[in-house]
Structure 1
C-alpha cells in the first residue's frame, strides 16, 4: 500500500514537472487536462517548495537573531537586531524582527534608576558650560566628556570614572577604585591622554563635581592644553552622553550580577568596556560600534 502511494506521488511529480517546463508554450489549464491533474493541485505543488524555502529562511533568521541577542547582553531591540542581520546578508525588517522577538520571547533589559554621585557643594571655581549640549562632533579628539558612577559589592562600594570621546562615543580612558577622590578621575584622564595624544585645544566637559573643579585636576588639564567646560548645576542633560553610557553599563550588565568581591566587579566592568567599544551598536552612529565608526572615519579620510 505504501509502495503504491509513493509510486503515485512520484508519477504526479513527473507530470507537474512536465507542465512546469511546457507552460511557457501551452496554457496551464490545457496541460493539466492532458496530464489528468487538477490545476489547483499543480499550483499547490509549485507553491510548496517556496513555502519550505521561506520556512527555512525564517528559521535561519530566528536562530541568528537569538544568537546575536544573547551575545549582545540581551540589550538589542528590534531595530538593532534587524540592522545587524541585514549587515550579515539576511533580508529582515524591523517589524518582522519584532514578531520574531515576540515568538522567541526575547525581552530587552530595561534600565533602573541610579543615585547621583556628584558633589557640587564646594568652594572650587566653576567653568562655564562651553559645550552647551553640542553633542555632534566632526572628528575624534575634539570633545571629551567624563563622569563617575558606582558599583555595589559585598566588600563595599566601587567607583568607576570614564572619559568618552564624543565623536564616536568610545570610552578612551577609565579608572576603577574603592574611592571617588580626585586621583580616580586623574587616572582616567591620564589613560585617555596617553592613549589618544590629542592636539591642544580639546574641550573637556564634566559636571560640577569637586573632583573636576579641584586645583589638582585643573592643573592636569592645563598641562595637557585642554579647555574645561562644566554642566549647569543639577542638570544631567548637559552631560547626557556620559550618563547614557552609565545607564547602559548598569542595565546591560551590572544590575544582573551580585558581586562578592570588588575584583569581580572590576573584571565585569572591564568586560563591558570591551563589548561597548568594540561590538555595541549605536543608533547615533548609524548602528555601528564606536570602534567601527572611528575606523570608517579614518578610512574615508585617507
Structure 2
C-alpha cells in the first residue's frame, strides 16, 4: 500500500481526472479503458511516467514510482486474462462505484456489516503503522481525532453505512456529536483546503524555479520580495509537508587533503578566527578555488573572492588550468573592483593551499594593501562562507551541460550576477547581497 496519504482536496482533484474511477486517502482506482490504453502505449515504447503525465496525472502528487508499479501489475493481468481481465475485476459493482440499491437478505446484511467492521479496523491499523515514528524506542504516534472522523466518513460513504454512525464512532473511540460537528464544518474545511491549494501553487512555482533547492526560509524571502506576499515560514513548512515538497539537501563533500608547503612557501596565522561578519563592507575578504566539470568531463577551475560581511562575490576568474595565473588574475580583478576604496583594515583570508602560500601571491597581496590570513590546517570551517557559496553554485548550476569553456564562462557569470543581485538571504535581513551592502553603507 502507498505511503502517500491524499488529503481531501487532492482526492477531489484526482477524481476530476477522466481516467480515474475512485480515490481513497491511500489508493487510486483507474478506469479499465485507461489501463488498456496505457498497456498499448507502453508496448509502443512510451515510458510509464510519460504515459501518466500525458493523461493528466501529477507525479509529485501520486508518487514518482506509481506509474511503473501500475504498469507492471497491469501487464501481468493483461498477459493472463487479456483486455477482459480489466473489465471484470470490479466483481459486479455498478459502473458508478456506488453500492447497489437492490434489497439484501438479513444474512447478507450481517455478512456485509462484518466486512465493514473489518475494513474499518484494517484502515485504522494500517494508518497507525504508517505513522509510527522511525526512531527506535519511541512510542508510535496516535491517529488524530480529525483523521478518525475522516475514516468514518469515508467508510460510511463507501459502504453505505448510514445507520451505523454510533457503532463506528464507538469503535474509533470518538464522540458521535463530535463527528456530526466535523461533518457540519465541511464547508470550512473545503475553504481551508482551497486556500492551502492556492498557497501551494505559489510555493510550487518558486520551488520549481529553484529546481528543488529552496527551503521554507528561502521561499518566504522570495514571496515577500518578488511576489509581495506575507506568509509565515511555519505555514510554508506545513504546506510543503502536506503536498510532499521536499527540498534537496546538499551533501557534505569529503575533505580534500592539502599539499604540504615547501620551505619556499610560507603559511600565515589565522587572524580572522572565524569572525566573518564584522558589519563593514570590504573589511574581510574570503578567497578559495573549486573545480567544475563540463563537456566530456573536462575540468575547469574557479577562483573567487567573497565579501564576508555582504556575502557578495567581489571578483572571480575561471581557468582551464591550476597555474598561478588563476589567482593572479583574480587579484587583478579584485583590484579593479575595489579601486581606491580599500578598507584601512582590509584582510584577505584563505586556506593553506599552494597558491596562497606562494611568495609571489603574498607579495601581490601586500601591494594591494591587504593583510593576509589563513585557515588552520585541516579545518575547513575557518573559511566556511566561501565553501558554502561553492556548494550552492554546484547545486544550482547545471555546468555539466556546457559543451565549451566559453559556454561555461557565461553560465557561471550569469549565476554570480544573479547571486549578488537577486538571491535573498535570511541572515542578511532578507535582502540580497547588493541590497545589504547599500544598507551597511547607508548605516
How far apart, CA to CA, are the structure 2 residues paired with 1:119 and 1:188?
21
Q: Partner of 1:134 in structure 2?
A: 275
- Extract unaligned runs of 5+ from structure 1: 1-43
Q: Larger deviation: 121-130 or 79-88?
A: 79-88
In structure 2, the gaps of 5 or more residues are 1-183
Alpha-carbon distance, 1:287 to partner: 2.6
Change (3 A) 1:203 1:287: same
Q: How does 1:11-50 map to 2 (within 5 A)?
A: none
Task: State yes or no: 1:269 paired with 2:269.
Answer: no
* 3-state SS, counterpart of residue 228 of structure 1: strand
Alpha-carbon shift at residue 57 of structure 1 (Å)? 4.7
* 1:64 corresponds to which of 199, 202, 205: 202
TM-score, normalization by structure 1: 0.75
- Out of 276, 301, 304, which is 1:159 matched to? 301
For the pair 1:168 / 2:306, whether they are aligned, the reply is no
What is the Cα deviation at residue 62 of structure 1?
A: 2.5
Q: Within 5 Å, which residues of 2 pair with 1:52-91?
A: 57-87=195-225, 88-91=227-230
- Find the aligned partners of 2:381 and 2:396 in 1 and give their Cα distance: 21
Q: TM-score, normalised by structure 2?
A: 0.52
The number of equivalent residue pairs is 255
Highest relative contact order (Cα 8 Å, sep 6+), 1 or 2? 1
Distance 1:275 1:98, change over 3 A: same
Pick which of 217-226 and 50-59 moved more.
Answer: 50-59
Deviation at 1:238, TM superposition (A): 0.8
Report deviation, 1:155. Answer: 5.5
* 1:261 Cα deviation from its structure 2 partner: 2.9
Aligned pair partner of 1:181 in 323, 326, 331: 323
Per mean C-alpha deviation after superposition, the further-off stretch among 266-275 and 174-183 is 266-275
Please show how residues 121-270 of structure 1 align to structure 2 within 5 Å.
Answer: 121-123=261-263, 124-153=265-294, 154=296, 156-197=298-339, 198-254=342-398, 257-270=400-413
CA deviation map 1:128-185 (0-9, x unaligned): 1100111121210101000000011216210000000011111000000111122111
Q: What is residue 24 of structure 1 aligned with on the other side?
A: none
Q: CA deviation at 1:247?
A: 0.9
C-alpha distance in 2, partners of 1:186/1:106? 44
Distance 1:57 1:189, change over 3 A: farther
CA contact (8 A) 2:261 2:267 kept: no
Cα drift, residue 275 of structure 1: 2.0
Q: Which stretch shifts more, 87-96 or 234-243?
A: 87-96
Matched, 1:281 2:424: yes
Paired residue for 1:36? Answer: none
Judge conservation of contact 1:253–1:272 (CA < 8 Å) in 2.
yes
The aligned residue for residue 160 of structure 2 is none
Q: Report the CA distance between 1:212 and its aligned residue.
A: 1.1
Q: Is the 8 A contact 2:315 2:330 kept in 1?
A: yes
Match of 1:97 in 2: 236
Does the CA contact (< 8 Å) of 1:111 and 1:250 recur in 2?
A: no
Q: Relative to structure 2, which stretch is displaced further, 233-242 or 272-281?
A: 272-281
Work out whether residues 317 and 326 of structure 2, in 8 Å CA contact, stay in contact via their aligned partners in 1.
Answer: yes
Compare CA radii of gyration and give the structure with the larger one: 2
Q: Which shows bigger deviation, 80-89 or 112-121?
A: 112-121
Distance 1:119 1:291 in 2: 35
